[in-house]
Each structure stands twice: as structure tokens, then as C-alpha cells.
Structure 1
Amino acid sequence: MRQRRYPSDMTGAEWALIEPLLPEPACETRAGGRPEKHPRREIVDAIRYVVDTGCKWRALPADFPPWRTVWGFMARWAACGVIGQIRDHLSGRIRREMGKGPRAVATDIDSQSVKAAETVGKDSRGYDAGKKINGRKRHLVVDTRGLPLLVLVTPASLTDRDAAKELLFRLRLMHPEITIVWADSAYAGKLVTWAKKYLNLTIKTVSRPKDASGFIVLPRRWVVERTWAWMMHARRHARDHERLVQHSETLITWAAIILMTRRITRRQSRRPNQPAPLGERGKVGSGRADVG
């Protein structure tokens, strides 16, 4: 086992959270298979290193497993839905620890346009005329505590309303208990009627006050904006480098998993009734929203 030396490396407590949620190795199943050459903890640490530092896959330090091995595990776990299951398990645990139900009934939706690297093909990129960005657009759904529930990556040229149909359809399939979606004015119009008619979802838009000037915090909307700020701490997401949109969605989900595992383990290591340090207040699982 390699020595823990990078800030992105998991602690023992974090690994104890992740290990039971990973699929069973093939060599331990009835069908059988070759034993895995590299410990899974090193694989997960390598994925976290790429997300946190933003380095190229080929530039993984030599003390990690080969980059092709790490990339292969990342792609296979994403394809079989393991990463989404880990995200949902961790978010449900945080909600229960906060005295909430494990599943949200109210959510917040927003999008973010980012520039795309030269590795992103023309078929999955576009030009966002409003933001003047040539790249991709990330669409995110979070609960009222800012915990990510679903992410969708599209060309930046796709409007928020058009992308929201696909995003909300997936959200309804994965989370049938959700009833309310808070959004900004970009999601107003026919989308509200469509979501109510076909998905039985209520979209409530929060508009900026007409007499407001400069930056203001909008009710409900600040939750998802804060989550975007958390995600951008991972340098991999300052620009989109992934050739496939599903891999881009996967690495964004990994950034959320890193945030949640750190949050849970910090709470476990803190003594009962001990207040959180100032630097931890307002992070994953905290906030003033009181619905869902």
C-alpha cells in the first residue's frame, strides 16, 4: 500500500465510507475472474488526485497505478451506475445526520457554462452567446441543503429550458418523491407547464428584484450557486477536458463525493456538541434552507 502523501488522498475514515459501496471484485463472484493487481484504495486516490489537481491522466504520479488502469476503473464504475449510487448514499446519510429525511422533496436547478479544451470534439461543444463561451454547459440539481442529486453536461449552445427537459425527466425517474424545483427566470415559460403536465413537477421561479443593483443573494437560489462554488474548488472543473460528456458528468460527481466524504468524517472526528470551526461552516450539509 502506497504512503498517503497528497491532500487529495483519502483518510482511513473516508475509505471506510467508500469501500463497501464499490462493486464486488470479479475474482470474488461466482463467475470468477483474475484478482485485481492494484488495491482499490489506490485507484480511488488516483481518481481524486486527477479531480483535485486537474492534471492529465497521463501525468499521474508514478506512485499511483498506471493511468490506463485508473481511467478504466473510472469509466467502468460510471457505466454501471456505481458513482451515482455512492453519491446518493452519502447525501442520504448527511441528510439523516441533519435530522432530515434521506430523500429530498424540494430541489434547486441551475446551469454553468465553461470553456472546453481542445480534447473536446465539435459534436459535444457549442457557443453560449449570452456568456460568450465556446464549450460545454453543466446543469445541476441539488437539494435545499446544496447536496448534488444529478448533473447533466451538454453543448453550451443548448438553452437551459431545452436541457431542463432531459434533466428533469431523469430526475423524475431517479427521484419520484421530488415535487418542487426552484429555478431562475431562464426556466420560466412553457417549461413550467410541460413539467407539471408530463412529470407532475412544480417549477417555481425566483426573479431578481427590478429595483436591485449589483450583486444580491436571491432566496432559494443561493443554495445551488454555493454548490457551484464548492465544485470549482476541484481544478479539473475550471475547464472541460473530457472527450465524452458522460465522463465529464462522472468527474463532477466525484468532486461532490470528495466534498461529502470529508464532511462526514469531520463530523465523526468532532466531539459531541462541539461547534464546527469557522472554516467549515456553510459547507456541504449546512445552510439555512428549511424545505425538503
Structure 2
Amino acid sequence: MADRVLVLHWWHDSGAVEHTHEVLRGRVREADGRNAEPTVGLIGSQSVRTTDTVPPSARGFDAGKKVKSRKRFIVTDTLGLLLAVHVVAANVQDRDGARRPLLWTRLDHPGVRKIWADQGFTGRLVDWSAQILGRELESSARTLTNAASRSSPSGGPESACSRGSPPTGVSPGTTRPARLARIP
């Protein structure tokens, strides 16, 4: 059993999982007649109920849903393919929790020039995205709904959120794979 755990750690730590995901995402996009690298993204968040086994420091109270939970932020391309994930306590506001996945998207996918978001991603976040990341964050409920419906039956980040949780064993704030050695 210990050998299996070591192999799983090697796959993750070596960058093999991240590399495989990137290659497969590119192939799916090309099979759909698109460029391998996306130019537009969608960001969404979703609160997910937690159990008592989740440490109190890793969960928060979502006032809108009135539950103790975690919140996951997901950035996808217009096909609904994953670009970035970030998990935080649910009491974190959308405009604050979105910064890391937006930054990761900027670093890992420099071709993404515009990101569509719902109304929770407004104000300072739009300005920060333009000034710091040099990216346009277009925030409107209608924009996100239209973008998801015309681009893919998978429906963008909300559908990605509902398909399941981030990888098992991932702690809040550490959902992005480490930038270690990449496989050529």
C-alpha cells in the first residue's frame, strides 16, 4: 500500500498529472475545431456543504445559503474544460476568492484575454484584473448565461462545479498543482 501512495505522489509531484491534463484539454479543443489554447474563460463559484470531519479553519458560514461549507472557484474555457480551481472557506466573498484562480489562469494560459463572470465578481476585482493582470473581466449574469449556453452543452464553470469536487486530498488554498519539473 505504501508503494501505491509513493507512486501517486510521484505522479503529482513530477508534474505528470498537470501535463497530461493540459495535453488532453488541447486535444479536446482541437477535436472541436478550436485552437489548443483558449482565448476566453469563465469563472464561477459554488458553496459545497461540509461535514464535521472538515477542520473548522477550512470551512466557513455562507450567509446566502445559511450553511457551513467550503467555496470552490473554477475557471474554465468556453467548452467547460478546467483551467484553474481554488477552494476556500465559504465566508470568502467572490471578489476576494477569485484573485488566485484568475492569477493562475493568467500565468498558465496567457492567451486568455477575457474572462466572463456573474454579478458576484464586480467592483474592485474588475479593476484589479485590468490593472494587475491586464485582462478584461466582464461581469454580468446575462453575459455568463449567454456565453455558457452558446459555447458548450457542458455549460461552463457552474457545470464543472456540479460535476464533482476537486481532487481528493486537496486542502483549501492549495488546489493548484505545484509548478515543479514539467514533462517535455
Query: For this structure pair, what is the TM-score category when the shorter chain's length is used for normalisation?
Result: 0.7 to 0.9
For residues 77 and 119 of structure 1, do their structure 2 counterparts lie closer, same or farther at Cα, with a shift above 3 Å needed? farther
1:196 and 2:130 equivalent? yes
What TM-score, normalized to structure 2? Answer: 0.80
Corresponding position of 1:227 = 160
C-alpha contact 1:206 1:219 (8 A) present in aligned 2: no
Q: Count residues with an aligned counterpart.
A: 171
CA contact (8 A) 1:120 1:242 kept: no
Shift of residue 78, structure 1, vs aligned partner: 2.7
The reply to whether residue 163 of structure 1 matches residue 163 of structure 2 is no
**In the alignment, does 2:54 pair up with 1:127?**
no
**C-alpha displacement of 1:241:** 7.3
Q: Name the SS of the counterpart of 2:85 in structure 1.
A: strand
Report the CA distance between 1:169 and its aligned residue. 1.1
Query: In the TM superposition, what is the alpha-carbon distance from 1:93 to its structure 2 partner?
Result: 0.6
Q: Is the CA contact (8 Å cut-off) linking 1:107 and 1:178 kept in structure 2?
A: yes
Equivalent AA in structure 2 for residue 179 of structure 1? R
What amino acid does structure 2 have at the position aligned with 1:190? R
- CA deviation profile, 1:82-120 (whole Å, cap 9, x unmatched): 322211110001111122110000010001111223332
1:124–1:155: 8 Å Cα contact kept in structure 2? yes
Q: Give the Cα–Cα distance (whole angstroms) in 2 for the partners of residues 198 and 94 of structure 1.
A: 31
Which of 32, 35, 41 is the aligned partner of 1:101?
A: 35
2:21 is paired with a residue whose SS is helix
Give the deviation of 1:77 after TM superposition: 2.8
Moved over 6 A (4+): 246-250
Q: Residues 111-190 of structure 1: matches in 2 within 5 Å?
A: 111-190=45-124
The 2-side partners of 1:121 and 1:156 are apart by 13
Conserved 8 A contact 2:76-2:84? yes
SS in 2 for 1:187: coil
Q: Secondary structure at the match of 1:107?
A: strand
Identity %: 30
The structural deviation recorded for 1:133 is 2.5
What TM-score, normalized by structure 1, do the two folds share?
0.52
Separation of aligned partners in 1, 2:60 and 2:87: 12
Which of these two proteins has the greater Rg computed from alpha carbons? Answer: 1
2:94 and 2:78 map into 1 onto residues whose CA distance is 20
C-alpha displacement of 1:208: 5.0
Given that residues 75 and 247 in structure 1 are in contact (C-alpha distance below 8 angstroms), is that contact kept between their aligned partners in structure 2?
A: no
Distance in 2, matches of 1:189 and 1:92, equals: 33
Task: Identify if the C-alpha distance between structure 1 residues 70 and 113 changes in structure 2 by more than 3 Å, giving closer, same or farther.
Answer: farther
Structure with the bigger percentage of strand: 2
**Counterpart contact for 1:150–1:171, Cα < 8 Å:** yes
Between 1 and 2, higher relative CO (CA 8 Å, sep ≥ 6) is seen in 2
State the distance in 1 between where 2:168 and 2:14 align: 22
Structure 1 pair 158/80, CA: closer, same or farther in 2 (3 Å)? Answer: farther
| CA apart distance, 1:189 | 1.1
